[in-house]
Chain A
Amino acid sequence: MTDTIPMHVTRYRPEQETAPTVEEYEVPLRRDWAVLDGLNYIKDRQDGTLSYRWSCRMGICGSCGMTVNGEPMLTCATFLTEYKPGPVRVEPLSNFPVIRDLVVEIGDFLRKLPKVMPWIVRDTEKPTAEGEYLQTPDEQDAYKQYSMCINCMLCYSACPVYGLDPHFLGPAAIALAQRYNLDSRDHGAADRLELLTHPDGVWGCTLVGECTRACPKDVDPAGAIQRYKLTAAMQSLKAFLLPRGAR
C-alpha cells in the first residue's frame, strides 16, 4: 500500500457559498510529487470541480503560486514530502481577491506592471541596419538578478503593506523598474522617476523584507526598493542643490 498525505484545500464557490470553506482530500505521497501534482491528482481522480492555475510545472511560468501551510509558494516547486505527515494546507495567495477556489484576481498587478515601463526606453532608436545595442558582461550583471522575475506575485502575497494598502505599487513592479533603470541600453530612468517616487511607490515600502524571502527566483525585491530609495533621495538632493542642466 502506498503512503498518502492529507491535503486541506480551500474552496470558494461563489454560486453556492459566501465565504471560503476547507475540503479535505487524501493524495498519494510520492517522493517526486509537488503540491501541484497533489492538486492535479485531486482534480483528475477525486473532484473535477477544483479550480486553480498552473502551466509549466517547472518554476518559470509563475502561474501556480498559492499559500502552502501559510507561506506563499510556487506549488510546482514545493514537494509534498516536505510536509510529511501532513496535512498540507493549500489556500489562495493572500492579499488578492479570490475568484474561485485557489484562483485569485490579478488585474491589479497586471495594471501596475506596464506603468513602470518594463521595456527598454531609448532617447533615439538606432536603425536596425546598425546592429544590436551591445553590452559587456559587467553591464549585464548590473541588472541580471532583477531580470529573473517571473511575475508569480508571491512577493505581493507576502507583503503586508500591499495587503493593507492595495495602492502600493508593490515589490515585483519596482524590482522590474530597477531591472530597466540599471540596463546600460535604457534611457527611461527619468520617465520612471515620478511613478517610483510617488508615495505609493518606493516610499510606501516599510522594509518588512518578506518579499525577498518569498521570491522563488532570488530577485531580492526588498533590496531593489531600498536601492531605489537611495537613488531617489540623491535625485531630490541634486534637484535641490544643483542648477537646472547640471543634474
Chain B
Amino acid sequence: MSAPPIYTEFHPRWYRKRMGTLWWLHRRSYLVFALRELSCVFIAWFVIFLLLLAHAIGGGNHAYHRFLDWAANPFVIAVNIVALLFVVLHAVTWFNLAPKAIVVRARGRRVPSPLIAGTNYLAWAALSAVVAWLVLRS
C-alpha cells in the first residue's frame, strides 16, 4: 500500500476518477462527437475558401484564373475533399436530429420522424440540384 490515506470518520475521502485524455476513442459515439466538433474547423476553411474566391473574382480575370490554378493543386483538392466529408457528417447529424427537435402534431397525431427527416433530406437534395444546375449549365 502507498502513503496512508487521509481519512476521518465524518469526512471520508472521495475517490474522483478523471477522464483520460483519450476518452473520446473509447466509444464510437464519442468518436463521432469528437469528429463533429472538429468539423467546425473545416466549415471555417470553406468560408475562407469562399472569401478567397470572392476576392479573386473581384481582382479581375487574371486573379480569378490564378485562384483556379491554386484550387486545382492536389493538396487543396485533398483538403477540400476531407472538408466535404466533415460537412456531410455535420449535415447528416443535424438532419437525423431534426425529428427529435421538431415535434409537429397534425390532426391530433405526432408527425412520424421519417417524414420530418425525409423532408429535410429532400430540401437538401433539391437545393444541391439547383446549385449543381447553376454551376454546370455553362
Chain B binding site: helix, strand, loop or mixed by DSSP?
Answer: loop
Q: Are A213 and B29 in contact (CB under 8 A)?
A: yes
Is B33 part of the contact surface with A, judged by Cβ < 8 Å?
A: yes
Cα distance A98–B18 in the bound complex, in angstroms: 12
A residues in contact with B7, CB < 8 Å: 14-15
Interfacial residues of chain B within 1-44, with CB under 8 A of chain A in the complex: 1-3, 5, 7, 12-17, 19, 23-24, 27, 29-30, 33, 36-37
A14 CB to closest chain B CB (Å) equals 5
B35 CB to closest chain A CB (Å) equals 12
B residues in contact with A56, CB < 8 Å: none
Given that A97-B16, A100-B12 are known contacts, is A160 also in contact with B23, CB under 8 Å in the complex? yes
Q: Are B3 and A206 in contact (CB under 8 A)?
A: no
Cα distance A19–B5 in the bound complex, in angstroms: 9
Cα distance A163–B27 in the bound complex, in angstroms: 14
Cross-interface CB contact of B5 among A17, A100, A207, A229, cutoff 8 Å: A17
Is B103 part of the contact surface with A, judged by Cβ < 8 Å?
A: yes
Q: Are B14 and A229 in contact (CB under 8 A)?
A: no
Binary interface encoding of chain A residues 212-246 relative to chain B, with 1 for a CB under 8 A from any of its CBs, else 0: 01000000101100110110000000000000000
Q: Are A207 and B30 in contact (CB under 8 A)?
A: no
A residues in contact with B23, CB < 8 Å: 160, 163
Count how many chain B residues have C-beta atoms less than 8 Å from C-beta atoms of the other chain.
27
Cα distance A115–B46 in the bound complex, in angstroms: 41
Q: Are B14 and A97 in contact (CB under 8 A)?
A: yes
A residues in contact with B100, CB < 8 Å: 220, 222-223, 226-227
A residues in contact with B24, CB < 8 Å: 160
B residues in contact with A163, CB < 8 Å: 19, 23
Cα distance A222–B19 in the bound complex, in angstroms: 21
Instruction: Select the residue from B23, B37, B93, B101 with max chain A CB neighbours within 10 A.
Output: B101
Is B108 part of the contact surface with A, judged by Cβ < 8 Å?
A: yes
Cα distance A16–B103 in the bound complex, in angstroms: 53
Is B77 part of the contact surface with A, judged by Cβ < 8 Å?
A: no
Q: Are B101 and A227 in contact (CB under 8 A)?
A: yes
Is B82 part of the contact surface with A, judged by Cβ < 8 Å?
A: no
Given that A15-B5, A138-B108 are known contacts, is A206 also in contact with B33, CB under 8 Å in the complex? yes
Q: Are A164 and B12 in contact (CB under 8 A)?
A: no
Cα distance A163–B26 in the bound complex, in angstroms: 14
B residues in contact with A105, CB < 8 Å: 14
Given that A160-B19, A226-B100, A226-B101 are known contacts, is A16 also in contact with B5, CB under 8 Å in the complex? yes
By a beta-carbon cutoff of 8 Å, the part of chain A in contact with chain B is 12, 14-20, 94, 97-100, 105, 138, 160, 163-164, 206-210, 213, 220, 222-223, 226-227, 229-230
- Ordered by A's residue number, 16 sampled pairs between the chains whose C-beta atoms are within 8 Å are A15-B7, A15-B12, A16-B1, A94-B17, A98-B16, A99-B12, A99-B14, A206-B33, A207-B36, A207-B97, A209-B29, A209-B33, A210-B30, A226-B101, A227-B102, A230-B102
- Excluding A97-B16, A99-B14, A230-B101, 15 further A-B contacts by CB distance (< 8 Å) are A15-B12, A16-B1, A16-B5, A98-B14, A99-B12, A160-B19, A160-B30, A163-B19, A164-B19, A206-B33, A207-B93, A207-B97, A210-B30, A227-B103, A230-B102
